[in-house]
Amino acid sequence: MAIIERPVDTPALAPEGGPSVVATPSTSFGYFRRPVETTGWRAWAFTVDHKKIGIMYGVVAMAFFVVGGLEAGLIRAQLAQADGTILSADKYNQMFTMHATTMVFLFVMPMAAAFANYMIPLQIGARDVAFPRLNALSLWTFVCGGIFINTSWFLGGGADGGWFMYAPNSDTPFSPSDGVNFWTLGLLITGVASLVGAVNLIVTVINMRAPGMSLMRMPIFTWMALVTQFLLLFAMPVITVALFLLLFQRNYGATFFSVADGADPLLWQHLFWIFGHPEVYIIVLPAFGIVSEVLPVFSRKPLFGYPFVVFSGAAIGFVGWGVWAHHMFASGLGPISVSVFAVATMAIAIPTGVKIVNWTLTMWGGKLKFTTAMLFAIGLIIEFTIGGLSGVTHSVAPSDTQQTDTYYIVAHFHYVIFGGGVLGLFAGLYYWWPKVFGKMLSEKIGKANFWFMIIGMNMTFGPMHILGLQGQPRRMYRWTDARAGEGFFNLGFWNLVSSIGTLVLMFGVLLFFVNVWVTRKAPPAPVDPWDARSLEWITTSPPKAHNFDRTPTVHALDEFFHRKYEDVGTGDHHEYKQVMTGEEVVNEEIAHADAHIHLPSPSYWPLILALSMPIMAYGVIYHTLLIVVGGAMAVGSMFGWALEPSTAPDSDFDPPADGTPSKEVALHV
């Protein structure tokens, strides 16, 4: 790859005393000026900065968290009493389908992407990801896809076939509204976002590490996110096939799932779950990574068994490809298939157990500090283990035959997804908030946030174990007193408890938003509020646009920790004495700032290309002409993108008339 250009120093543009500003001499091939603003909405809409993109991923994901939560609230309101009348059967089907789709695809995955986008370059000492414009494309594609799916509510109703959308139930005769089409097309769109993001982040981690940052010196979050990206890379195409087959079935008369023509419904199930099982690891591994960062910091101890944590993460990613049919135990696979998958499913509990052991031993003997982030991390260990235990009972195929399609399964996956994924994400929010936004969240409100969420989740999902084993099926829009049973196992009682728990949980989530609001004008946070260990903390809070004034050279795992603390022990005995504060480490880097720093320039094309996709999707549902229009937009934007150099030419930057340094040129600093 060619170097762009030799920077020409232009002292006239340099701010007083600051590093010299570089203008890049080159000609523009495009016809339009590049967007170059650094403030205002344009600075966000056209940005290619991974940090801004990460923040936008997070904000949009949280918005969808609220949407999915409201959908859950309606479900629980319907089930709080016998013969519920809040939702009709049809609306109920839409509600649980959209709740799950929103939570999995539009909240948890993008929230993990938010952390991955923001933190990976910082954790490996890079200034951005490998393909900044592709990064922007991922973000806007996700936003477009998420909004597109949700427009179904206003255009005939949401998808109603369950988030796993089993065919032929999801075919037109049984799901006549456009809801399933919105779902299929929307997930195809968000799938592009995930796949592109996966390629981007894998190349970033493999190729853009700071000097000295070998793979086994990378922070665990980066490792887990890397495994997650590989899972996305290989799993997304499989659901893509399934989605296209369903799309063609519903819209163009294909017969893939027409049983009368000889189709086998299990085809859908295989394709979906070959994606679907790696998907659950895609959900939980980033949370595991976050917890592996938080626990050492607040135990004042390094992560126990770093190589084991790395390899068990890779093992989970690997073995996770061999267990998908445990979602199909009751579908008539036959005893041999079922046995093979049952054994594989039992095996995958092992690497997860390794992690739990390592986390526990990290805390053992440490000087524990129970900050909110730490509470969420410990909460994950406990709640995820509970979910894992019910998971192990599912792996025993005969008992799963009783459990399947009951609330026992609902209990399991909410404990692992919420207790695992969501708690981990909240730990990350509290842990990294000062770095990202430059202010501390309130610990007091944070602890209330935590306790209401924990109590709420256990009240909501705990009783579901009982409900399930007592026979309450999934996806039933109401229950009756006649079938509710008596005594301790009265389904009515536990349904009510679960619904009240939902309110407690929602209040807990509300407290998080209260926390954000109340601290929005808080004083600036210190550079290193937690006395942390990894590279992303060797930056200002928030980091500058170019992340590091000087690319750090890495000498050890937990580089930041080792710069602050020197080992003054002898032999095997380690004793750490503080030799520098976090601020001093950062200031030293600033003092040795690089003279020339290039950043890629913002661009219109990712946003335009992203917008073309829902247009094409509406075309499939409503009018073929829209497909042509969207297609032209897509092709045009791809050409525009290809013709555009990644750094805008000098001529796109206007020096301000009053002679002050241009805020636009500041991008070059």
- Structural tokens at position 346: 């039992």
For 15, which DSSP code?
P
From residue 165, alpha-carbon distances to 280, 342, 406 in Å are: 16, 23, 17
Nearer to another protein, 239 or 464 (CB): 239
Q: How far is the CB of 185 from another protein (least distance, A)?
A: 17
Q: Least separation, in Å, of the C-beta of 275 and another protein?
A: 9
Among 34, 52, 99, 270, binds another protein (CB under 8 A): 270
Task: Please report whether residue 611 would count as binding another protein according to CB under 8 A.
Answer: no
Closest residue by Cα to residue 490 from 475, 507, 471, 505: 471
Q: How far apart are CA 368 and CA 549, in angstroms?
A: 33
Bridge partners of 22? 9
Residue 240 or 470 having the CB closest to another protein: 240
Contact residue for another protein among 267, 314, 347, 629 (CB under 8 A): 267
Single out the residue of 475, 577, 596, 623 in contact with another protein (rule: CB under 8 A).
596
Question: Closest separation between CB of residue 115 and another protein, Å?
Answer: 20
Name the residue with tokens 């695992």.
420
- State the nearest-atom distance from the C-beta of 262 to another protein, in Å: 4
Q: Is 311 near another protein (CB under 8 A)?
A: no
- Residue 209 pairs in a beta bridge with none
Token duo for residue 216: 């086994």
**31 forms part of the interface with another protein (CB under 8 A):** no
Peptide bond just before 661 cis, omega within 30 deg: no
Query: Is 668 near another protein (CB under 8 A)?
Result: no
Burial code (b: 16+ CB inside 10 Å, e: under 16) for 254-291 equals: bebbbeeeebebeebbbbbbbbbbbbbbbbbbbbbbbb
* Residue with Cβ nearer another protein (498 or 612): 612
Q: Find the part of the chain contacting another protein (CB under 8 A) among 163-171, 481-489, 501-509, 590-598.
A: 590-598
Residue 27 in tokens: 């000609």
* CA–CA separation, 388 and 409 (whole Å): 11
Closest alpha carbon to 296 in 246, 365, 217: 365
Tell me: does residue 173 bind another protein (CB under 8 A): no
Which of 21, 98, 224, 236 touches another protein (CB under 8 A)? 236
The answer to whether 461 touches 415, Cβ cutoff 8 Å, is yes
Any contact of residue 40 with another protein (CB under 8 A)?
no
Q: Are 332 and 566 in contact (CB under 8 A)?
A: no
Q: Could you say which of 36, 295, 325, 381 contacts another protein (CB under 8 A)?
A: 325
Task: Tell me: does residue 233 bind another protein (CB under 8 A).
Answer: yes
Of residues 366-405, which lie at the interface with another protein (CB under 8 A)? Answer: none
CB of 560 to another protein, least distance (A): 18
Give SS3 for 377. Answer: helix
Interface residue with another protein, options 177, 337, 470, 587 (CB under 8 A): 337
Of 551, 581, 587, 662, the one binding another protein by CB under 8 A: 551
Q: How far apart are CA 77 and CA 91, in angstroms?
A: 13
- Our CB check for another protein shows the closer of 20 and 81 to be 20
Positions 210 through 229 that interact with another protein (CB under 8 A):
211-214
Give the number of other Cβ atoms within 10 Å of residue 644's Cβ.
Answer: 19
Binding residue (CB under 8 A) for another protein from 17, 173, 307, 334: 334
DSSP per-residue letters across 39-72:
SSHHHHHT---HHHHHHHHHHHHHHHHHHHHHHH
Instruction: State which of residues 198, 309, 373, 607 lies at the interface with another protein (CB under 8 A).
Output: 198
- Distance CA(561)–CA(558), nearest Å, equals 5
Instruction: Give least dist CB 543 to another protein, A.
Output: 15
3-class DSSP state of 227: helix
2 scored as a contact of another protein (CB under 8 A)? yes
235 contacts another protein (rule: CB under 8 A) = yes
Rounded Cα distance, 473 and 593, in Å: 62
Chain residues 415-444 in contact with another protein, contact rule CB under 8 A: none
- Work out whether 591 is an interface residue with another protein (CB under 8 A): no
Write down the least CB distance from residue 341 to another protein, Å.
9
* Smaller CB separation from another protein, 244 or 576: 244
Site for another protein in 91-150 (CB under 8 A): 126-128, 130-134
